Every structure is written in structure tokens, then in C-alpha cells.
């Protein structure tokens, strides 16, 4: 296992379009993770916008580097396209990259979401009512992994027994959010399953909210919630433990 002083973490995100921020969230997370882990250099780069992946990679002055994809699912893009794009950006072959599973498949996401939803429900004065939850996710017309991950999260939330009916709606596949939002049950809490605070989290959700009933409540997108940095740290430390066990076995 590499010494922590020799390790760099590159957080890779798509890059925000629209919204109210300019990749501020992923940069904020990089600072938080670097501060909390300590003795590990952490940088963030995006596919579109600034800082670029090449720029962030060049700032990692460490011999060992891990790449953490800040994406909500592990579908075709994250598994196939993203490694190619990162390799092209930094001028290396895919085989030399060490990529961790994306944020969206973390073992601890359901726990973080559950805790945050219960706090939101209390803040909204809905404690004891078990309000319905609508998970708003991206979806895709070809790769179904995004919707599979959303439904998996829904199943985990159902098993807690803390909420009412839980459903999923999508931007890019059926059932479409635009078709569902006008008919949601009273006091439905909408959870945007997005990792940044850009076009989907802000612009698309703002449009959706305009067509929602007055008693429909939109909460902070998952990627913008306060617990995310701690989950990412847990993922990184888990990967380092696996790395150490593998080296010890050699």
C-alpha cells in the first residue's frame, strides 16, 4: 500500500452546465476530502469547463494516483467512455490508470440519503406522516444503468420503513418526470439524484417545480448534500485497504 504522502486523488466530474455554480461543488469536495484525510493530495478536474482533467492531473505531484469518478451510476459512459477521455486528456494509456468505482455505487449512499431525507421531512413539518418520495434521476435512452441504480436506491429506502410510496422518474427515459410531476401525491418529497449543482440539479428541477402541485417539496440534490464528502472519503479509504491487502498477499 502506498505511503499516504505518495498518494494523489483525482476527482473527475462531467462539468456543470447552467445552474448557479461553476463546478464549485466538486472543487469544494476536493478541498474537504484533502483536509479530512490529510497527507493526501486531492485535486478535481472536469470533462467540460475548468479546471480541466489535464490541469488537475498535472497538479498531483505524487507517484501514485487514484481516479475517483464523481458520477451517479456505473453505466456505459462511466465504464467505457470516461477512462478513454481521461487517458486522452493526460496522455497515458487506459491500462496505466487506477479508477475507483463511481460515487453513485457507494455502499453508504442509501444511509446518507435516508438520514438527509429524515432531516428534510422534519424541517418541512412532515415528521410522522411518512411522505411519498419521488427520486428524480437522469436515465438514458440506451444504457439503463442509471435507472437501475435509482430503483436500487428506492428499494433500500423502502426497506427502512420511514417513508410512504417511493417512485422513480427520469429526464431521458420513461416514466418521464415531466409526465409524472403534475399528479404526485400530496406532500411528495422530490429527491434529485444528481451529483452537481448545474443544469440538471438547478435548471431542470426549477422547470419541474413550476409544474408541480404547491404541496410538492424539492430537496437539495444528492451531490450537494453535506454528507457526500464523508462518503467519498470512506470509498477512498476502502480502496486503500484493498490495495494494502493485495500488496501484502504478493
Per-residue pLDDT of 101-158, as tens digits, reads 999 999 999 999 999 999 999 999 999 889 999 999 988 877 788 899 999 999 999 9
Query: What residue ranges of the chain have pLDDT lower than 50?
Result: 1-2, 245-250
Rounded distance between C-alpha atoms, residue 217 and residue 187, angstroms: 7
Residues with Cβ within 8 Å of residue 198, at least 6 apart in sequence: 15, 16, 17, 18, 19, 21
What number of helices (H) and strands (E) belong to the chain?
9, 7
Contact 33, 233 (CB under 8 A): yes
Q: Give the pLDDT score at 247.
A: 45
User: pTM of the full predicted structure?
Assistant: 0.89
Mean pLDDT, the chain, whole residue set: 89
Contact 224, 25 (CB under 8 A): yes
Bridge partner residues of 99 (DSSP): 67
Distance of CA 11 to the CA centre of its chain: 11
Amino acid at each position: 500500500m502506498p505511503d499516504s504522502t505518495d498518494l494523489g486523488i483525482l476527482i473527475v466530474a462531467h462539468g456543470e452546465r447552467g445552474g448557479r455554480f461553476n463546478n464549485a461543488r466538486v472543487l469544494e469536495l476536493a478541498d474537504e476530502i484533502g483536509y479530512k484525510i490529510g497527507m493526501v493530495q486531492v485535486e478535481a478536474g472536469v470533462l467540460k469547463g475548468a479546471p480541466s482533467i489535464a490541469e488537475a492531473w498535472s497538479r498531483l505531484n505524487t507517484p501514485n494516483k487514484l481516479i475517483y469518478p464523481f458520477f451517479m451510476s456505473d453505466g456505459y459512459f462511466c465504464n467505457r467512455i470516461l477512462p478513454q477521455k481521461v487517458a486522452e486528456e493526460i496522455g497515458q494509456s487506459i491500462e496505466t490508470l487506477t479508477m475507483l468505482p463511481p460515487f453513485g455505487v457507494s455502499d453508504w449512499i442509501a444511509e446518507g440519503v435516508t438520514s438527509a431525507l429524515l432531516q428534510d421531512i422534519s424541517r418541512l413539518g412532515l415528521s410522522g406522516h411518512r411522505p411519498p418520495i419521488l427520486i428524480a434521476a437522469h436515465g438514458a435512452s440506451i444504457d439503463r444503468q442509471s435507472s437501475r441504480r435509482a430503483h436500487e436506491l428506492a428499494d433500500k429506502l423502502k426497506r427502512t420503513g420511514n417513508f410512504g410510496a417511493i417512485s422513480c422518474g427520469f429526464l431521458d427515459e420513461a416514466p418521464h418526470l415531466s409526465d409524472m410531476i403534475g399528479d404526485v401525491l400530496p406532500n411528495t418529497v422530490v429527491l434529485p439524484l444528481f451529483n452537481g449543482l448545474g443544469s440538471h440539479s438547478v435548471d431542470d428541477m426549477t422547470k419541474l417545480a413550476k409544474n408541480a402541485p404547491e404541496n410538492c417539496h424539492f430537496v437539495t440534490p444528492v451531490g450537494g448534500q453535506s454528507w457526500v464528502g464523508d462518503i467519498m472519503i470512506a470509498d477512498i479509504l476502502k480502496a486503500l485497504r484493498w490495495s494494502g491487502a493485495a500488496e501484502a498477499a504478493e
